[in-house]
Chain A
C-alpha cells in the first residue's frame, strides 16, 4: 500500500465510519483506528434504541456503515488501538498504530482524518441532581438502553408513573460546561414520546430553560405536546432528595414565579456532550489545537474540516456538539478533503 492512496482515520463513530466508507468507495485505501473494542461510536456504545428525529432504529443507520467497514477489502480496521506517533508531510505521513495488546504497526498514509467524538457529561460532577446517590436518577444515555430492552423499571422493579426530564445537565452553566449540546433537547423529547408509547399511564414533565429543537427537529417538540400530552415546566431544578420511596424534586416554575417541590418516580437527566480523553490523546499525537472548551479547534470556526495542520482533517463531535446527521456529513466532507490531498500528491509523482 503506498502512502499516496491511503488515509488514516482516527475514531470509528458515525463521522469516522462515513469517511472510511466514502474513501473506500472512491477507490482509496483506509486504515481505521478505533480506541474501543467495537466500531460504531456513541450510538453503539450506549445502545441507542432509535434516533431522533425520525425514530429510526439505530441499526438502520449504523449497521450498513459498520458492515461496509468490516467487509470492504480497502478498509483495514484496528480496534482497541490508537495512533501513537506521527511524522511526515501531506501526501507522505508515517503513523504508528499501537494496540492495547501491545502490538504495533507503522502506516504510510497521504492524509489523516481525526473523528474522535465526545463523552457524556458525568452528572456526578453537579451534586444537585443526586445522580449516583439516589436510585432512579438516570442519564438520557442510560435511558436509551432501557428503551431498547422495552423494560422501564425503577430500582425495585416497579413501573414509574411520574417521570421528569431535566434539561441542560452539565450544559449552559459556567460551573460545568458553558456550551449547548444541541441534541439533548431533541433526544430527550424523542425518549419522552417513546416512554408515553410504552407506558400510556405515565405523566411526563420536561423541566427546561429553552427548548432547542432546531430546524426540522421542531416537529418532535410539537408532536410531544399535541399527540402525546407531554408537559413542559420552564425552570430549573435546585435539589433532588430521595425520600426512601420517591424522588423529591425542588425547583422553580418560572412561569408562575414560584417554588415547586413535587415527588417523582424517576428522573432522567439530559446530560450534555463534552470532549473526552480520546480527543486530547489525538490532539497530542497530531499537534492539533484545542479551543477554550477542549474541543478540537478548526483553523476557522465555519470550516470544521480544516485542522490548520496540512493534510490532517477534522470531522464530527470532536469539533463541536452535533447530531448524527451532521457528524455523517462532516465525515463525508473530510473524506473529500483527504481525497484532494491524495490526488494532488499522486499527480506530482506520476505526471499524466
Chain B
C-alpha cells in the first residue's frame, strides 16, 4: 500500500493523542492546538510536559491588514477590494477543481480579512495557480484574480510569510 496522506495523519494522531490526555472532553480539541512544552520552568518550578500544557485558541481574534495593504499597492492586486466572494473564480478554476487546498476566492478573503493563521496554513497553495486566466474572464467585479494570485505570492514573500 502506498503511504498516502491518510496513513500519515493516522500516525500523527497516535502520537498526538498522548498530548493533553488528561483534558476533560479532550476530543473537542484538535491536537495541533495542544502545546506541551518539552522543557519549561516558571519562577524556578519545572513545568515541562503536562504541567505546562496550553491550548491555543481556535478563534480568529485580530484582523491583520498588513498583507492586504501591500497587495492593494501591487499592480495585480489593485482591484482586490472589489471582491465580494461570489466564487465565480473558484467555480471555473481548473486547479481548484482538482486540488483541495487551492481556492482563489478563499485566498482573497483571508488576505482581505487578515486571517494570519489561515494565510500561514495555505500560503504555499498560491503557487498552484496555473495562470490560465479563466477566473479573470468571469469575475463580475473586475478583481482579476489571476493577477491577484501573483500579487499574493509577492506580498507573502515581502512579509516573510513564504
Contact = CB atoms under 8 A, between A and B. Distances in A.
Interface string B79-114: 001111100000000000000000000100110110
Contacts of B60: 253, 256, 258-262
Nearest to B60: A260
For this complex, into which size category does the number of interface residues on chain B fall? 20 to 34
Contacts of B82: 222, 225-226
Contacts of A262: 60-63
Contact of A255 (B62, B63, B85): B85
Contact of B63 (A203, A221, A226, A256): A203
Contacts of A226: 81-82, 141
Interface stretch (A10-18, A229-237, A330-338): A229-237
Nearest to B57: A261
A162 B31 CA distance: 34
A205 B65 CA distance: 12
Interface string A99-136: 00000000000000000000000000000000000000
Interface string B126-148: 00000000000000010000000
Nearest to B72: A229
Contacts of B85: 232, 234, 255
B115 A256 contact: yes
B74 to A, nearest CB: 16
A229 to B, nearest CB: 5
A258 B106 CA distance: 13
A205 B81 contact: no
Given A203-B63, A203-B65, A260-B59, A255 B109 contact: yes
B58 interface: yes
A226 B84 CA distance: 10
A232 B61 contact: no
Given A203-B65, A255-B109, A262-B63, A229 B81 contact: yes
Nearest to A205: B63
B159 to A, nearest CB: 19
B101 to A, nearest CB: 14
Interface in B41-62: 58-62
A259 B83 CA distance: 22
Contacts of A221: 84
A262 B59 CA distance: 9
A258 B81 contact: no
B59 A259 contact: yes
A238 to B, nearest CB: 11
Nearest to B142: A226
B81 A253 contact: no
B122 to A, nearest CB: 11
Contacts of B106: 255-256
Interface in A196-211: 203, 205
Please give me the 10 A-B residue pairs with the lowest Cβ-Cβ distance, nearest first.
A260-B60, A259-B59, A261-B59, A261-B61, A226-B82, A229-B81, A255-B109, A225-B81, A225-B82, A255-B85
Given A162-B63, A226-B82, A234-B85, 4 more contacts: A226-B81, A258-B59, A259-B60, A262-B61
Interface of B: 58-63, 65, 81-85, 106, 109-110, 112-113, 115, 118, 141
30 contacts: A203-B65, A205-B63, A222-B141, A225-B81, A225-B82, A225-B83, A226-B81, A229-B81, A231-B63, A231-B112, A232-B84, A232-B85, A234-B85, A253-B113, A255-B85, A255-B109, A256-B60, A256-B109, A256-B110, A256-B113, A256-B115, A256-B118, A258-B59, A259-B59, A259-B60, A260-B60, A260-B61, A261-B59, A262-B60, A262-B63
